[in-house]
Structure 1
Amino acid sequence: MSDVSSISSPPGSSPASEIRNLPLSAEESWETLGLSQSRGPATPPEAPLEMPEQDFRARPPQGPDSGWPSPGTILARLVAFGGAAVIAWIGWRQMVLSFGANMTWLQSVLLVLFALTFTWVGFSFTSMISGLFARPLRTPEGPNDAKIAVIMPVYHEDAAATAGLLAALARDLYRVGLGERAEIFVLSDSREPDSVLEEMAAISRLRDISPVPVWYRRRRSNKGRKAGNVGEFVSRWGGRYDQMVVLDADSIVGAETIRALSARMNADPAIGLIQTMPMLVGGQTIFARLTQFAGRIYGPAIARGVAAWSGNSGNFWGHNAMIRVSAFAQCCGLPELPGKPPFGGTILSHDFVEAALLRRAGWKVRLDHDLRQSFEGCPPTLLDMAVRERRWAQGNLQHARLIFSRGFAWISRVHFVIGILGFLMSPIWLAMILVGLALSANVLLSRPDYFPQTYQLFPTWPTFDPVRMLWLFIAAMSFLLVPKFIAILRAWLRPLARNSGGNVRLLASAIFEIVLSALIAPVQMLIQTRQILEILRGRDSGWEAQVRAGQMPPWGVVLRRHAIHVITGTATLVVLAFLAPWQLIWLSPILAGLILSPMTSRWSASPVFGRWARRQGLLVTPEEREAPEMLTAAHALEFRISGTLPREGGLTLLGRNPALRSRIMALLPENPDSPVKDRLNAIAAEAKIAHATSQAEALNFLSPAEQLALLESRALIETFAKLPQ
């Protein structure tokens, strides 16, 4: 472990003009400029902003934008939703003709399930096509003195990685001239003592090297989770800022993009929120690279379509967005939903709801798809993605209680429905497969009744049109694949293909992505179906720290997690091979995905195979071939900060290392004022420390909650440090 006392603050100051062209990673040059903001309190003076709790049944206030959508938005909606309706009608009609007039009840069920699935894949196609009517976006010029807060809620994150990202952003903000208007605010909900200690040490180091103010606040209560964390910030300091950029712990927005967002919001006083389209970066495993390649190549065209039909009733994805603070405070105080989790309690997918509330109050919510300096990390493995999706599934199903809330724009309700169906389509797809197999079994195992009526002169022949069904299958596959090939063609016509390895490698990568995604899709179908069933049975997802950097799981883990998938696929294969071998033609991709799921899950989580794909030029993105300066600087700063953190020893270092102790105490409020009921852990910790004969004994006495209380009190830290080591 490096000596924390080696960290020092550069003296002096320097005008911003000296660093306009200074590389973000030019460490020595930045230090000699003496731009440290480390001195001073951990938080600025409070500037309270009232944030009333919203009533979903109340009449919404009249906001600044209540006009009709633009002609382009109307056309985009006609294409997206009208086109999907036409596709739904065609699919329904063709299925009815395939089954004939004497439809059985199983065929009726299959008809409904197929119509839902066919409409879903059709909408993904028409939504993308509607992007042809997306409005042009531009960044206005002119004076802008809006005060910006860049906030990053954190919860048991990699402290060095988080600080590295923010350090690079701080320098970028200063370099583009936002040093006087922008401040960074780290909002911690971390609860594990050693993690909190490391986090505070990293923030202290960040404050040393940041040319813009960096503030740090850790809550004692995690009420409301992330939404509550942001809400408390707005309530206490919202009056200090005009705009805020919300980040995740693994996401970042470039300073040029922040400046553009600020200018666009400042030029239109009716804008409440602007969402950017984050590009996935940093993937090392095959699974992560697959996800980031798909997002980079297909994502822009998809986002353009969503932006076109959303218009001023867009959505919020929880991060990489700029929000007007006053509008957020007015509209987005979220209540607890009545009842117990998973459908009651804290609103998990709060971002969708906040966007709907802003629009309900007459604020514009936009997706500005043209801004490129917006990045985020991606889950490294299929199993890590499943854990994350469990929480998303619960949050989206909660929205079923809010869809019909008073005053929501109909497009906001559409966003809710799309989010819900994004998870319900898995059990719908599974049900469609099972009903199809049941129909096949019924044909094989039962004898047709050609004379269902007693006095019937002519037989009733079973009706089924396999040719029509084949064309419906081809149409469904086309709706899934054509948007991808349109995106590839779009990339070929732009520098995107050249920056991704060239036309041939881009096409090869797309084919690789399609094949691997086809193997993963049936596994995700069963995983999400199980998640939906757990939620319906009343099981809460909880709140765990997200996995940002995973590792290849051992065989024992993948075999245990995917055993049900292998058994299901193998059993279905054996039964069909004996009873209906022709069905294997249709189901072979699904069965292959299930049977091979342990290998797919393990090998797609391998960084070794990820590096192999990189060497072959597969799944390469422009940001990987030529990494943005901010990301390379963030990695360099992360490495430097990491070497100064208390990696070993934990709280024992608090007593042994005066420099570390001084840094931690500098991030604590001078005179914390709280009622006795909130200081019970501190009172218990004080008593136990007083009876301890050494620092080690004191730490053994303290519970985790009392250790947290120690980290929250200057007086307790000083008392603890006086004990013999």
Structure 2
Amino acid sequence: MDALTKAEAALRQPRVTELSVGSLFPCMPPEAPLEMPTQSLSEFDPGSRRKQTRRSPWAGVLLARLFIFGGGFALTAYGAYEMYEVVAVGGVTLLEWALVILFVATFSWIALAFTNAIAGFFWLLFLAPKPPALPASLRERTAIVMPIYNEAPARIFSALQAMYEDVETSGVGASFDWFFLSDTTDPDVFLAEEQAFISLRQRLGLTGQIYYRHRPKNTNRKAGNIEDFVTRWGGRYEHMVVLDADSLMTGRSIVALAAAMEDDPDSGIIQTLPLIINRNTLFARVQQFAARIYGPVIAAGVSVWMGREGNYWGHNAIIRTRAFAAHCGLPTLRGRPPFGGHILSHDFVEAALILRAGYAVYMLPTLGGSFEESPPSLIDLSARDRRWCQGNLQHLRVLPAKGFRLASRQHFVTGIMAYVSSPLWMLQLFVGIMLVLQASYIRPEYFTSEFTLFPAWPRFDAARSLSLFALTMTILLLPKFFGLLLALIQGRTRRGSGGAVRLVLSTLFEIVMSALLAPSMMLIQAGHVMHFVFGFDTGWDPQRRDDGSIPFKAIVRRHRSHVAMGVITLIAGFLISPSLVAWMSPTIFGLILAIFLSWSTGLLNVGLAFRRAGLLLTPEEQSKPPLVARANDLAQQIEGDPAEDGSRLAALSDDAKFWALHVAWLPGGQSRRTGDISPEWALAEAKVNQAETFDEALSWLKPKERMALLQDRRLLERLLGLPRSRSMPEALSSVG
């Protein structure tokens, strides 16, 4: 008799309480607390740093850093000299100095990416290790945690079931426990999660190993969610694999991570390289193709120079739990958001803190079996980028922290530049236009008030300028062609991408599409940066992960300013110089077509048409990994379950099993503590007391009030005891 059957049998006993039913079907294991002290960014004692137990080879890492950073610096110095020579004909004005400085800042960014790609290409071609053999057994226990926040339950519960089943086939499944860590604030999604958890446990016939915890308040967002788990249950596990809600990892990848952590006592975090899957809109397919073809080259280069002083991307990685608890308690930054408050991009900071403590952080870029999803449209990507932008700019406050490794500071600078580069590019374009305008319409002052032997002629070296432009474009595009060349060499990747011809055509299309979308992304990211510079905070809405189109009106509202800027630039360009229009044509037409591009690339049928034509294909799409196919099949089965479509609140009163388990799983007991009164709870109580029917109360209750009600057994019983005047679907349709 499984736990759920025992729980159902217990419900028929007259003196059995909900708590005893919950003990037969626990949502969480017994707590095993760990202390997680808050770390200081202003103080650090180097003597407290842990001593490494093994000597690691550094020659290769130092050589890679010399090549990547030294080569990037040399390229930047050459580009700076050439740019100075371009504007130095006849003397350099203040505006021309501004152009040189902006050029150096943006050119250095792409020069570093170029040398990084060279290193990654040759490492993958000649030095990449073979996947490790899996162990027959594991000595230590590992928790696999999936933080969730208002996600579609069918997709996340099917994904975790597929991973659980895949790990079980490895023969070491008993070494892993699985956790849904819910921060959900939507009451309907919350109840759906509980129902999905009960159904999952019932399907697998488990009394343990898969658990579910809901946090009433999502303090400090994902970082706080993980901290809550570590401080309450972390003592049970030597390691934890952290997933995102869109993550998938094969059993082989998970077991290999656990084995690598056991074999390397100095390791603190081991990161995998997630590949994008399951994307079907044209925009998402472009992102998926680019990540699959170019991503491994870029990630390999980063891994080579990082060595064991790497970074953490917040998911699809394994962490040493006690080291994380002892050294990764995040401080709250002084001041108000966006630059103060809780640290948003916590993963970079956690990697820096655990490195500071003496543990290693590194990546296994060729491990494989690690997957994630991406936003389906440009607007969805913009919403995610808004959060990431604030988090990365917040790292300006963290960058000077005491005791951080130089590599960690470089990671922070890289993240900051990922967004600051957009306003710098925009300023560079603006200064260039001003210089052309000055040369065309403003009468030059050949002889200034200062004594000179020669006049200051406003001239440029056109031939050198053209050569510098060609160099810039070469450096910008070559990393993509490194990825293409590697894919052509690797037979599985070439065949899985539709063959050599389709692979080349897909790459050319991706380059053109990226060039057209880049101006809109530049303006969007520049807007994000300025938004936060002027002190505006951003929200944290759940990410849209499905393949669906955005209303056309919303697209027009988002991009109309971009189109207007493109039209104005086109007209001004023709008035100033037709050659200026030719030079800026990718930017101008990308902006003018912004609405059309954003709308068309977000359509599902357009992306599927490209798939049918054999373009933008990836090997994981052509030959879907069994884990991905299983997760997708399970999601379709669960979505078709009638239990997913009914009233969640009605199910609590109609289903004795669901009621007993929901009440037993309430955090902190079966009801609210005396004196613990929140505004939402007080409003919910007042509305329930005043309502004459269940339907009336339901129509009055706002989502936050319904969430407060679900945390209080007494108030919930009062609501469910009200008479119903309509069918449940009618009642739910009236809820705003």
TM over 0.5: yes
Pairs within 5 Å for 1:519-530: 519-530=516-527
The residue that corresponds to 2:637 in the other structure is 640
Change (3 A) 1:304 1:677: farther
Pairs within 5 Å for 1:276-315: 276-315=272-311
| Matches of 1:108 and 1:724, distance apart in 2 | 77
1:160 Cα deviation from its structure 2 partner: 0.7
1:397 has 2:388 as partner:
no
Contact 1:569 1:595 in 2 (8 A): yes
Change (3 A) 1:97 1:683: closer
Contact 2:118 2:482 in 1 (8 A): no
1:149 has 2:163 as partner:
no
1:65 partner letter? Q
Pairs within 5 Å for 1:214-363: 214-363=210-359
1:120 has 2:109 as partner:
yes
Which one is further off, 86-95 or 693-702? 693-702
2:40 partner letter? D
2:559 partner letter? H
| Matches of 2:315 and 2:94, distance apart in 1 | 46
The residue that corresponds to 1:139 in the other structure is 132
1:498 has 2:495 as partner:
yes
Contact 1:390 1:531 in 2 (8 A): yes
1:241 Cα deviation from its structure 2 partner: 0.6
Among residues 56, 74, 77, which one is paired with 2:62 in the alignment?
Answer: 74
1:467 Cα deviation from its structure 2 partner: 1.0
1:678 Cα deviation from its structure 2 partner: 3.5
Provide Cα deviations, 1:390-419, integer angstroms capped at 9, x if missing partner.
010000000001101000000000000000
1:710 has 2:674 as partner:
no
Which one is further off, 103-112 or 576-585? 576-585
The residue that corresponds to 1:656 in the other structure is 654
1:623 has 2:612 as partner:
no
1:690 Cα deviation from its structure 2 partner: 6.4
1:658 Cα deviation from its structure 2 partner: 3.6
State the SS of the aligned residue for 1:651: helix
| Matches of 2:31 and 2:215, distance apart in 1 | 15
Among residues 38, 49, 53, which one is paired with 2:34 in the alignment?
Answer: 49
Provide Cα deviations, 1:167-197, integer angstroms capped at 9, x if missing partner.
1111112121232111111111111211211
State the SS of the aligned residue for 2:98: helix
1:198 Cα deviation from its structure 2 partner: 1.2
1:722 Cα deviation from its structure 2 partner: 4.2
The residue that corresponds to 2:197 in the other structure is 203
The residue that corresponds to 1:62 in the other structure is 49
State the SS of the aligned residue for 2:393: helix
Contact 1:207 1:213 in 2 (8 A): no
1:689 Cα deviation from its structure 2 partner: 5.1
State the SS of the aligned residue for 1:227: helix
Among residues 551, 556, 561, which one is paired with 2:558 in the alignment?
Answer: 561
The residue that corresponds to 2:727 in the other structure is none
Which one is further off, 521-530 or 201-210? 201-210
1:180 partner letter? A
| Matches of 1:442 and 1:633, distance apart in 2 | 63
1:139 partner letter? P
Contact 1:297 1:487 in 2 (8 A): yes
- For structure 1, the 5+ residue unaligned runs are 1-6, 12-36
| Matches of 1:669 and 1:541, distance apart in 2 | 29
Which one is further off, 638-647 or 245-254? 638-647
| Matches of 2:584 and 2:352, distance apart in 1 | 40
Amino-acid identity (%): 42
Which one is further off, 416-425 or 166-175? 166-175
Change (3 A) 1:677 1:270: farther
Contact 1:288 1:379 in 2 (8 A): yes
Contact 1:342 1:535 in 2 (8 A): yes
| Matches of 2:646 and 2:618, distance apart in 1 | 37
The residue that corresponds to 1:19 in the other structure is none
State the SS of the aligned residue for 1:215: strand
Change (3 A) 1:661 1:644: farther
1:111 Cα deviation from its structure 2 partner: 0.2
Change (3 A) 1:8 1:717: farther
Contact 1:188 1:218 in 2 (8 A): yes
1:696 has 2:695 as partner:
yes
1:331 Cα deviation from its structure 2 partner: 1.1
Among residues 166, 181, 185, which one is paired with 1:172 in the alignment?
Answer: 166
Among residues 67, 71, 90, which one is paired with 2:78 in the alignment?
Answer: 90
1:385 partner letter? L
- For structure 2, the 5+ residue unaligned runs are 7-21, 725-736
1:450 Cα deviation from its structure 2 partner: 3.5
1:98 Cα deviation from its structure 2 partner: 1.7
State the SS of the aligned residue for 2:584: helix
| Matches of 1:420 and 1:314, distance apart in 2 | 17
Among residues 471, 480, 484, which one is paired with 2:480 in the alignment?
Answer: 484
Among residues 152, 160, 175, which one is paired with 1:158 in the alignment?
Answer: 152
| Matches of 2:3 and 2:387, distance apart in 1 | 41
Which one is further off, 463-472 or 225-234? 463-472
Contact 2:517 2:594 in 1 (8 A): yes
1:716 Cα deviation from its structure 2 partner: 4.7
TM-score, length of structure 1 as denominator length? 0.91
Pairs within 5 Å for 1:326-725: 326-452=322-448, 459-494=455-490, 495-642=492-639, 643-665=641-663, 667-668=665-666, 671=669, 675-678=673-676, 680=678, 693-700=692-699, 702-714=701-713, 716-718=715-717, 720-725=719-724
| Matches of 2:276 and 2:5, distance apart in 1 | 35
Contact 2:303 2:365 in 1 (8 A): yes
State the SS of the aligned residue for 2:212: strand
Contact 1:710 1:717 in 2 (8 A): yes
| Matches of 1:457 and 1:537, distance apart in 2 | 46
Contact 1:79 1:129 in 2 (8 A): no
Provide Cα deviations, 1:105-161, integer angstroms capped at 9, x if missing partner.
000000000011111111111111223457747637575221111101111001111
State the SS of the aligned residue for 2:173: coil
| Matches of 1:648 and 1:602, distance apart in 2 | 34
Which one is further off, 442-451 or 646-655? 646-655
